[in-house]
Amino acid sequence: MSASHDESEQDKTRKRVWILTRHYPPDVGALSYRLKHLAETLAEDYEVTVLTAQPNRYEGATKAPAIERQENLTIRRISSVQLLQSRGKVGRLLTELLGALWMSLVALRHRGKMDIVFASTPPFFYGLPGLVVKRFGRRPLVLDLRDLWLDWAEETGLLRNPLLAGSMRFLERSIIRSADHLTLATEGFRDLLLERHGTDPACATVVFNGLDKVLIPEHVEPAAPRDEGAPLQVLYAGNLGPSQSLVGILGGMLASLEKWPALRITIIGDGAQRDELSGASHPRFKVLPHTSREELARMCRETDAFLLHLAALDVYRHTVPSKLFEYAAYERPILCGVSGEARKICERHAACFTFDSDDAASFASAMDRLCGGEPADNARMERADQTEILRASRAPIWRKVFASLS
């Protein structure tokens, strides 16, 4: 029997996995890159189809091919329309809802081609296509939850109407309880959902955001001691929205940047606060657009320290930003403005100069300690070996989850 015949027979026995997601490359961001890694990992053992929207996360996104085919992997992109010209909260919310409903209809039409469905959030409403295929197509559903959006919406006051909040909580419960397996971003998420929804612990797996394989350093040289007066480069790379809240901590500090003559700050990314950050004028402060992952890896190797920050919200005590693992892999100090689970991971894996979220004075104090060459705040704490961060690979965990459904 020929090898080509064997391969053909193997293809016929492959389970068919559909990944339903709002964002996928060439859309930029940690979510897109993470799902690309998932699709390529699963394509080693399954016939994979990604159903996604046209690139839309940031203004200026260009249209991608409606269908792309690779070995054991097909990417289908459906049109997404910005409902309102304003990119404000209401416009985005309505756009996400209509986009999720449209994807639900498209997915339902293809349900006969699916053996397992994987639905990823955020955005919140994109759990809905998974629920629809589960209910009407009766296919096993893996639900991927990377944030607690409803908790955030209620805590920030975005969701004030009790009737609307109750309706969305009902939808959330329906989506979560319909899943055959949950993959969750943090231990904190897992504990909360087990308590709220009575989920079987065996059906809830923590898959940390982990490392993008492009950004895994082949070899990292420990930071060399700095000569007095030598430039000190601090890098932030990621979203520039209210969740990251960089305007609050950087705004006042830039006015007194002369206090740290060696300091250079580079911000890379896009989001709602980008224009305000770009408006800050100082020769030692730069705001750059998203760059390629390869170029970002080069900049990570060359920086002296990283900035990590989330807004001072209780929901973020259970959040671990994707960039934390990437920063820690480069063995550079981290200006650490996060709390809860993220701070514990940061202190275990990196030299941390900690400060309180949304506290400009606390941030300035941490910068004083960094620029002054003081020991890291966790210098006396036991630290994990860097190989533990480099082993934060998602692929083996995903394979185990999907094997349990196959």
- How many helical (H) and strand (E) elements, i.e. helices and strands, does the chain have? 15, 14
Does 305 have pLDDT greater than 60?
yes
Q: What is the pLDDT of residue 85?
A: 46
Distance in angstroms (rounded) separating the CA atoms of residues 150 and 193 = 13
Average pLDDT across the chain, whole number? 84
Q: What is the pLDDT of residue 320?
A: 87
Provide, rounded to the nearest whole percent, the portion of the chain with pLDDT above 90: 39
Residue, of 318 and 47, whose pLDDT is higher: 47
Domains present along the chain, CATH in parentheses: 9-207 (3.40.50.2000), 214-390 (3.40.50.2000)
| Confidence class for position 292, pLDDT limits 50, 70, 90 | confident
Distance in angstroms (rounded) separating the CA atoms of residues 260 and 365 = 12
Does 387 have pLDDT greater than 90?
no
Distance in angstroms (rounded) separating the CA atoms of residues 373 and 223 = 13
210-219, 263-272, 302-311: range with lowest mean pLDDT: 210-219
CB contact at 8 A, 392 and 215: no
**Closest alpha carbon to 370 in 326, 306, 327, 320:** 306
Distance in angstroms (rounded) separating the CA atoms of residues 62 and 71 = 25
DSSP letters along 251-301, please? HHHHHTGGGSTTEEEEEE--STTHHHHHT---TTEEEE----HHHHHHHHH
Provide, rounded to the nearest whole percent, the portion of the chain with pLDDT above 70: 85
Strands ordered across the beta sheet of 116-121: 67-70, 73-78, 47-53, 16-20, 116-121, 141-145, 181-184, 204-206
79-93, 241-255, 372-386: range with lowest mean pLDDT: 79-93
**Predicted model pTM:** 0.81
